[in-house]
Structures are given as C-alpha cells and as structure tokens.
Amino acid sequence: MDSRNIIQAVLDNLALNLNDRTIVYERYRVNPIELEPRSDIQRARVALYESSESVTVKTGPEYANLSLQRYGMDISVVRAYTRDDASRGELPLLDLRDAVVDWANSIDAGALTGNRIYTFSYNGNAGITRNDKYVTMTLSFSAIRELYESQVQ
C-alpha cells in the first residue's frame, strides 16, 4: 500500500501547509470539463495522483530497486462568471501554484513518507485551461522511489 500512503502523506502535508479551508483536496485526476457541474468546491480544488514511472536502478537478478515516479497535480480555481478576467481566475491560480512550488521546495520527502520516496521535486506545468466555471493548471512532479522493499504493508 505504499503508493496509497505516499499520495496521502504528501497531499495531507500540502493541505496542512496551505491551511486553507476553501480548498478541496482530492487524490485523483478528472478531466477539467468534468468539474463544471460541481458545486462543492468553494474556491479551489487540488488533486494529486500518480502518473508514469520508470525503473532507474536494478539490483541482483534485475530486481527493481529505485524508480523515477512522476506525479501530476491539478489545481482548479473557481471563477464566478464566464466573462471574468484574469483577476478572478488565472491570477489566483498562479498565486496558488506559487505556494505549491514553495511547499515542494521545502518538504523532506523521506521523513514525510518513511523513506518510500527520497525526493519530491517540481518539474513544470502544462499551462492553463479555461472553462466556463474553472481555470485549471496541471503541475508535474517527480520523486525517487524505493522499490526494493515490499510495496505492500
């Protein structure tokens, strides 16, 4: 259950760091257009999920030892009206992105996850998607992950 525990520990730490009760924290990806009918998101939604993974180090008879685990994080900010300008959507989104990047640069991933991942670093983003109700940006992160120990606890 390491994958589950890593996602939970990292996202819980982000929520603690941001300390904002108007943000909904979720552990799965949805297409930004699927957010449009939702009314439970007061100000923003932050979702962390696993993306691709590639083994970087093998030991002995080709056992996976370390991997480069990629994570995605969607940040969606609510806009009130379709014609709102950037001050009601993109700019608050960028403020939240900056706070997330600062957080990622300050965490001790090993201590946070019991050394199941050793690093957690920001790699960039995929730009902003503007829909009727939400503006969304997908951030990408990578981590060096321990695979030699059992992944099931």
Is residue 33 very low, low, confident or very high in pLDDT (cuts 50, 70, 90)? very high
| Predicted TM-score (pTM) of this structure | 0.91
Question: How many residues are given for the chain?
Answer: 153
pLDDT digits (tens, 9 = 90+) for 72-130: 999 999 986 666 677 778 899 999 999 999 999 999 999 999 999 999 999 999 999 98
Number of domains in the chain: 1
Asked, for residue 152, whether it belongs to a domain, the answer is no
| Nearest of 149, 152, 145 to residue 57 by alpha carbon | 145
Residue-range definition of the domain harbouring residue 17: 2-146
- Cα separation, 46 vs 145, whole angstroms: 22
Task: Provide the CATH number for the domain around residue 100.
Answer: 3.30.70.1700
Asked, for residue 97, whether it belongs to a domain, the answer is yes
